[in-house]
Structure 1
Amino acid sequence: MDERATTKMFCFQCEQTAKGTGCTIQGVCGKTAEVANLQALLLYQVKGIAGYQKHLKDLGEKMEEETIEFVEDSLFMTLTNVNFDPEEHYLQLKKSQELKDRLEKKLGRVLPTPEASYRLGSTREEILKDTTRARIFFDDTVDEDIRSLRETIKLGLKGVSAYAHQARFLGYENEEVSQNVIELLEALTDNSLTLEDYVAQMLKAGETSYKIMETLDRANNETYEAPTPHKVNVQVKKGPFIVISGHDLRDLEMLLQQTEGKGVNIYTHGEMIPSHGYGGLKKYPHLVGNYGGAWQNQQKEFSDLPGCILMTTNCLMRPMKSYEDRIYTTNVVGFEGIRHVKKNSDGTKDFSEIIEKAIEHGGFTEDEPVKEILVGFGHKTTLSYADKILEAVKKGEISHFFVIGGCDGAKPDRDYYTKFALGVPKDAIILTLACGKYRFNKLDFGEVAGLPRLLDVGQCNDSYSAIRIAAGLAEKLSVTVNDLPLSLIITWYEQKAVADLLALLYVGVQGIRLGPTLPAFVTPNILSFLSKEYRLQPITTPEKDLQDILGS
């Protein structure tokens, strides 16, 4: 047995994992060893469930909605900075065994994989003892490169499930994606698969990621209108308020509807800022602006906040005592002792408690001077300028396009992205997305060829928009995306970034620069393969990378 299997816990799924190798005592994110180990066992159970569901499907049985939703929620709640509550994990584990038992009975036999044949213990002590079998390095006979690809696929599926959860909340589901998730999870238990097989599975995970982002894009655009350029005030206004963080637009819509006419202002936070570009949300006048920056600053930003906070998806940090009575969670987000808003059977939620508490706290006492930034450059808006952009390229007015964005984090070396953006030539356009934009989105980049130099494409899932924009421009020029004067400078932190990267590899994008550091779950051999096949490379310094890209 690998010695890492005997540690108190082991997790290396995020970019900030301890010492760049893995958290073994407590997660850098704040999760305890108990929660980390319960999450590992839950994923072990999910792979067993997928095995039964896959075999039933092969026999002609329709995949059950209950199974798909359970698998989706389980993967999502184990994503970094989502759920820290051990009680929720014990409950989900109990449900996992009930579901697995039912599928096993339906199939009529026990599948031979350890994940499928395992039965959950009846006591907490038994469950915690059994978590060792689910640890990443428990079986040291597995080839390290196969293990690396398995982890990459598994973590990518966490990101896929987060996007699928958002789409499902809006009433959109992609059956092919659901089927692929089950098949990919089952493949993670198949010891007959070769390294080449797992490379193919990794690209299938990338295809799955691309297709669920496409589905979520359609869900958001059809429900709330395609994003268009809108200015967002990043200062505060007098009065009671709620700050809503995360990604889920349906939660924001319900909160806006329930606060209408009550004198409560709504501020977006983190990756919610692109919401201001959607006409179906911007129409509410009490959606007054965006508060704060990226997720890693929340403990400082929320500390003395005279209002309430609603966390809808990932990006939750351990709440400080100074505001733990004013922060609420919903969906699969959770923290022990923090109030949770549940979804009703009809899909609605009752936000009355958080609204009343926001009114009680009174909010900000005065207006700050307005300061606005621009959002709303999704693929439909940006491609509407395609002819103008390409004409400017032909005239030499626009020299290059940079995609600079992704997940932000707390490490000091992430100022690379600020320095890089500031170093981009004045005749180049920057497309940005996800919370990595907060490294520079409040700076003034001016215009080029009559267009803003900084175009906010949206949330992390709007990597799809960036792909569509690049593909649209390439098509008009009759070239491939890789022939465009385009460079991708990607910052990663958690597993949705893994899903985004796999989607980019699936569509064949070359030359991505990734940082601040490379994933600990990628072995040297797999990194060498990605470097050779896709020219994936780590960032170095802003000056050197710009020089290499621009050739000067």
Structure 2
Amino acid sequence: MFCYQCEQTAKGGCTKIGVCGKTDSTATLQDLLLHLTKGLAQVAVAARGQGIEDNEVNRFISEAVFSTLTNVNFDDARFVTLINKCVSLREGLKAKVSGVEFGGPATMAPALDIPGMVAQGKAVGVESDPEPNADIKSLKHTLTYGLKGVAAYMDHAAILGKEDDELYAKFQGLLVATLATGLTLEQAVEAGLECGRINIRAMELLDDANTSAYGHPVPTQVKLGPTAGKAILVSGHDLKDLETLLKQTEGKGINVYTHGEMLPCHGYPELHKYPHLAGHYGTAWQNQKKEFAEFPGAILMTTNCIQDPKKYIENIFTTGLVGWPGAVHVGNDDFTPVIERALAMPGFEADIDKGSVMTGFARNAVMSVADTVINAVKSGDIRHFFLVGGCDGAKPGRNYYTEFVEQAPADTVILTLACGKFRFFDKQLGDIGGIPRLLDVGQCNDAYSAVQIALALAKAFDCGVNDLPLSLILSWYEQKAVAILLSLLALGIKNIKLGPSLPSFITPNVLNLLVENYNIAPITTPEADLAEILG
């Protein structure tokens, strides 16, 4: 295997076992699935050119690509099913297309068993790209990883009934573009920026899906300590799974808690209305082995972020695209096995007061007090805004983000989103004229909300976004962060600071290009970066 798609990548690339826990066979099956899905996209693009649109194919392509994102699916058997379905859909669609001669992954037949598929996966993995130019290859891999992030957001939106045929078409076109040879540097850069643009549309679609179903988030206080009683913990990102579980647990004496990026769910009125949505438990995904082992109830993983659960395998359940060998997978929106396990477990013996945090500061909430914010900036009460957020992780150096927020002057405001917030989410930073200094915008996809806030402020001040007293201090871990970074670059946003380390798939020349065109820079120390930004 060879994998360097996440920030935790070992020494430039995992070659024996992933730091995430995926085995050689899982990694190579993912490579094979991704390659074959590109072949399905080739056929889908050709079919669309002949007026043939197949929504089952559209949905499957985003699901398959999402399945290869970090910490989603570790179950080899599930990948075999996906691989075979991919080829079945491909051949079915191919039969409807006339006058097109396909090649490459559009004609590849998978082996009949896992060892054979693994061998095929090794032949089409990351290192098999024939591109001789290291910088073009770097940009193509950046595009591939960005598309994995886009696929996640497309899938989340589709689950709530929001789809866009034009988005599917552009996504599939870019997926095919990763197979191209002979690209110029300009073409490769443009493909990455186009990925950023379609990710904006995917996040917009998901924002519409979430707010149409559950209302716009409102500032909400969330209890951190547990309540006595039976318990279920929900982690991942999927709002619909949480809603379904809340409905199915009504009147059963079970308290439901959020974990990780599910914290912002408390801000949605149609989810907050359930009295047994009892609070938030734990912190970010990389701490789950300790936190889940101590949780006295059932655990439901709804999307990516799962780690090896062998110490509590009987208590954890997966749904959607998540998979782990030995963990019970529940489908068809029936969480009965999760509920039965929770009822069989002891739950929390007593109430524990661990304080609370605020969430729900999405664009509507912030812009409802826009006049107050604008006046505070004009009067000098607010000197600067920092968007400090992104993915959390286990690698050393992430204490930078805690220290940055702690050292940010009292006349600055911190916007945050995604699981990177757990480095400082419970800090009591006070307020500026009634405006909290720490504003939790939401999940990683709520970067859309943060961008809308920035664009609205730029319009109010009659300036460009880069002229605002706003700095982006981002942390990355997996491929959704890559997609969001490409979106920010596509919007022309400059002066981003990125950490805790730079991606292994970015070559020095590509990094120089980003520095020259966008002034993107790695984080240094909180003291030095604050001094540079604030002058």
TM (norm. structure 2) is: 0.98
Q: Is 2:16 the partner of 1:25?
A: yes
Is 1:374 aligned with 2:358? yes
Q: Out of 402, 416, 425, which is 1:418 matched to? A: 402
Is residue 484 of structure 1 aligned with residue 468 of structure 2?
A: yes
Residue aligned with 1:288, SS: strand
1:403–1:487 CA contact under 8 A, matched in 2: yes
1:461 matched to 2:441? no
1:1-20 residue pairs with structure 2 within 5 A?
Answer: 9-19=1-11
1:36 has 2:20 as partner: no
Is 1:80 aligned to 2:70, yes or no? yes
Matched-pair contact (CA < 8 Å) for 1:110–1:117: no
Q: Distance in 1 between matches of 2:147 and 2:248?
A: 34
Letter paired with 2:10: A
- Alpha-carbon distance in 2 for matches of 1:220, 1:258: 20
Structure 1 position 283, deviation (Å): 0.3
1 CA distance for matches of 2:525 and 2:518? 21
Aligned residues of 1:158 and 1:496 also touching (Cα < 8 A): yes
Task: Classify the secondary structure of the residue corresponding to 2:170.
Answer: helix
1:316-465 correspondence to structure 2 within 5 Å: 316-321=306-311, 323-343=312-332, 349-369=333-353, 371-465=355-449
Unaligned runs of 5+ in 1: 1-8, 344-348
**Paired residue secondary structure (1:22):** coil
Write the letter of the residue equivalent to 2:286.
Answer: Q
User: Within 1, Cα distance between the matches of 2:114 and 2:299?
Assistant: 32
| Shift of residue 108, structure 1, vs aligned partner | 4.1
Question: What is the 5 A alignment of 1:224-239?
Answer: 224-239=214-229
> Which residue identity does 1:256 align to in structure 2?
L
- 8 Å CA contact retained: 1:153, 1:202: yes
Residues 26-52 of structure 1 deviation map (CA, whole Å, 9 limit, x = unaligned) = 000000000000000111001111111
TM-score normalised by the chain length of structure 1 = 0.95
Identical pairs, percent: 49
Would the aligned equivalents of 2:26 and 2:75 in 1 still touch at CA under 8 Å?
Answer: yes
Instruction: Return the letter of the residue paired with 2:329.
Output: H
- CA pair 442-197 structure 1, distance change in 2 beyond 3 A: same
**Correspondence for 2:290:** 300
Going from structure 1 to structure 2, the CA distance change for 1:109 and 1:337 (only over 3 Å counts) comes to farther
Q: Aligned residue for 1:136?
A: 126
* Structure 2 spans left out of the alignment, 5+ residues: none
Q: What CA deviation, in whole Å up to 9, does each residue of 1:203-234 have, x standing for no partner?
A: 11001100010111111111101000000001
Q: 2:131, 2:137 within 8 Å by CA — same for their partners in 1?
A: no
RMSD: 1.2
Whether 1:271 and 2:261 are equivalent positions in the alignment is yes
Picking from 235, 249, 259, the partner of 2:249 is 259
- Write the distance in 2 (CA, Å) between the matches of 1:386 and 1:191: 49
Name the structure 1 match of 2:212.
222
What is the deviation of 1:263? 0.6
- State the Cα deviation string for residues 260-310 of structure 1 (Å, max 9, x = none): 111100000000000000100000000010000000000001113210100
Matches within 5 A, 1:136-175: 136-175=126-165
Cα distance in structure 2, aligned partners of 1:64 and 1:192: 30
In 2, Cα distance between equivalents of 1:222 and 1:186: 33
* TM superposition shift of 1:110: 6.5
Superimposed CA distance per residue, residues 57-94 of structure 1 (whole angstroms, 9 cap, x where no aligned partner): 12222x21111111111111111000000000111111
Q: Within 2, Cα distance between the matches of 1:312 and 1:252?
A: 8
How far apart in 2 are the matches of 1:55 and 1:170? 28
Alpha-carbon separation, structure 1, partners of 2:507 and 2:529: 24
Letter in 2 for 1:325: E
Distance 1:426 1:64, change over 3 A: same
Match of 1:105 in 2: 95
SS at match of 1:265: strand
Q: Deviations over 1:406-435 (max 9, x none)?
A: 000001210000000111110100000000
Match of 2:485 among 483, 494, 501: 501
2: distance between equivalents of 1:197 and 1:134?
Answer: 23
- Secondary structure of 2:82's counterpart equals helix
**Alignment coverage as a number of residue pairs:** 535
Q: Is the CA contact (8 Å cut-off) linking 2:153 and 2:206 kept in structure 1?
A: yes
Between 443-452 and 288-297, the greater mean CA deviation after superposition = 443-452
Match of 2:274 in 1: 284
How big is each residue's C-alpha offset from its partner over 1:315-355, in whole Å with a ceiling of 9 and x where there is no partner? 1001032x110000000000001001112xxxxx1111111
What is the identity, as a one-letter code, of the residue corresponding to 1:182?
Answer: Q
Separation in 2, partners of 1:531, 1:59:
42
Q: What does residue 178 of structure 1 align with?
A: 168
